[in-house]
Structure 1
Amino acid sequence: MANTLSGKRVAFVVAPEGTEQVELTEPWKAVQDAGGQPELVSTSPGSIQAFNHLDKADTFPVDKVVTDVSPDDFDALVLPGGVANPDFLRTDPDAVRFVRGFFSQQKPVAAICHAPWTLIEADVVRGRRMTSWPSLQTDLRNAGAEWVDEEVVTDSGFVTSRKPDDLPAFCGKLVEEIAEGKHRAQAKSV
């Protein structure tokens, strides 16, 4: 797995505050370990504040601001969870537009926990089979998704998981989907 993502740039989109730290750091490490280049994209420059549930954790430097990048610049997108993170991102039109662009370009997207709130706002879940933190199931069904309670779900290059306990399966599947390289042909477009 050491070089399966060699040359692949992966955007990790997070709000300035509220991302669940382990849902950022574990997928980040998986991308790096596979030879990929993760980049932290946020709505403002500087650094982001991660959390361990409700407690402040570490800060991480922002590599790019969402208004300065395009999905064209990346091979895939990862959306970490945390309750506040996607709730903030879904209210930022530039972040929503950026996320929607990965689906329009049929690139791999991985989202865990509460992150699908941003995807609902981007109007990209309709007709897709997916999972999330259980409290989002009604929101996702109302947005047209088929919600299932499974550790990890893949739908044509789109990977979702429920919670931090699912991270090993989530990380393995997101690396596999990014490495596969068939997404432009198989993914559903918006």
Structure 2
Amino acid sequence: MKMTGRRVLMFVDNVFEDMELLYPYYRLLEEGAEVVVAGPETNAVYTGKNGYPFKSTAAIKDQNATNFDLLVVAGGFAPDKLRRDPKVLELTREIHEAGKVVAHICHGGWIPISAGIMKGFTCTSTPGIKDDLVNAGATWVDKDVVVDRNQVSSRKPDDLPAFCRAIIELATR
């Protein structure tokens, strides 16, 4: 179990991309990580865009970046709402600035964009936010997974196996 002893932060809110939250959540648990899924409220049920419910394990406002080894941001439309929360942006910036892994998939890139951490990074995403990433100073490429320093990015649910492999590899170096 490669991730034993590592703590992962994930964000959740309504209209998250079901697969992009659940696949990494269970994959990282399988590798021994402790995964905290923080939403606006603790123990609240949030519904994915495909209807799958997920209960948060913590509240975003109660989290501290120093308690985590990496951040994984699922896509869907939840990131557009979550990026309006100053605490989400603070946690994202602090985890990034500490050199810890920040991973985002699909529309999840909206959060690192709003946190101001994309300038000079090469990444990928859903084509729908390509312009947002480029305007934030990133170089966008169309690949299943991109690793640039401490960031991992992918485009869509089909890329989840490569996304999770890259997260685990980078986080266990």
Structure 1 counterpart of 2:35:
38
1:79 partnered with 2:73: yes
Equivalent position SS for 1:144: coil
Q: How many residues align?
A: 173
Residue from 51, 57, 61 that aligns with 1:63: 57
Aligned to 2:6: 8
Q: What is the rounded CA distance, in whole Å, between the counterparts of 2:75 and 2:35 in structure 1?
A: 16
Percent of aligned pairs with the same amino acid: 36
Contact in 1 for aligned 2:16/2:78 (Cα 8 Å): yes
Question: What is aligned with 1:185?
Answer: none
* 2:25 corresponds to: 28
**For 1:45-75, what per-residue CA distance to the aligned partner results, in whole angstroms no more than 9, with x for missing partners?**
2324232xx4322x22222211111110111
What is the match of residue 169 of structure 1? 162
Amino acid at match of 1:9: R
Distance in 1 between residues matched to 2:96 and 2:56, nearest whole Å: 23
* Cα distance between partner residues in 2 of 1:10 and 1:164: 20
Q: CA deviation at 1:24?
A: 0.8
CA distance in 2, matches of 1:121, 1:27: 22
Distance of 1:37 and 1:121 partners within structure 2? 26
Provide the C-alpha distance between the structure 2 equivalents of 1:135 and 1:6, rounded to a whole number of angstroms.
Answer: 35
> Whole-Å Cα distance in 1 between the matches of residues 172 and 37 of structure 2?
20
- Residue in structure 1 matched with residue 112 of structure 2 by the alignment: 119
Q: Which runs of 5+ in 1 are unaligned?
A: 181-190
Secondary structure class of the residue paired with 1:169: helix
Q: What TM-score comes out, normalization by structure 2 length?
A: 0.96
CA distance in 1 between partners of 2:105 and 2:64 (Å): 22
| Counterpart for residue 130 of structure 2 | 137
Superposed CA deviations along residues 93-151 of structure 1, whole A, max 9, x for unmatched, are 11111111111111111100000111111000000000000111111101100000000
> 1:62 is aligned with what amino acid?
S
2:46 and 2:55 in contact (8 A); partners too:
no
> Could you tell me whether the CA contact under 8 Å between 1:90 and 1:117 is conserved in 2?
yes
- Which of the numbers 102, 119, 127 marks the counterpart of 1:109? 102
1:66-98 deviations in whole A, cap 9, x for unaligned? 11111101111100000x211001111111111
SS in 2 for 1:115: helix
Q: Give, in whole Å, the separation in 1 of the partners of 2:108 and 2:118.
A: 12
TM-score of the superposed pair, with normalisation by structure 1:
0.87
Assess if the C-alpha contact under 8 Å between 2:46 and 2:56 holds in 1: no
In structure 2, what is the Cα distance between the partners aligned to 1:40 and 1:60?
9
Give the aligned residue type for 1:109. Answer: V
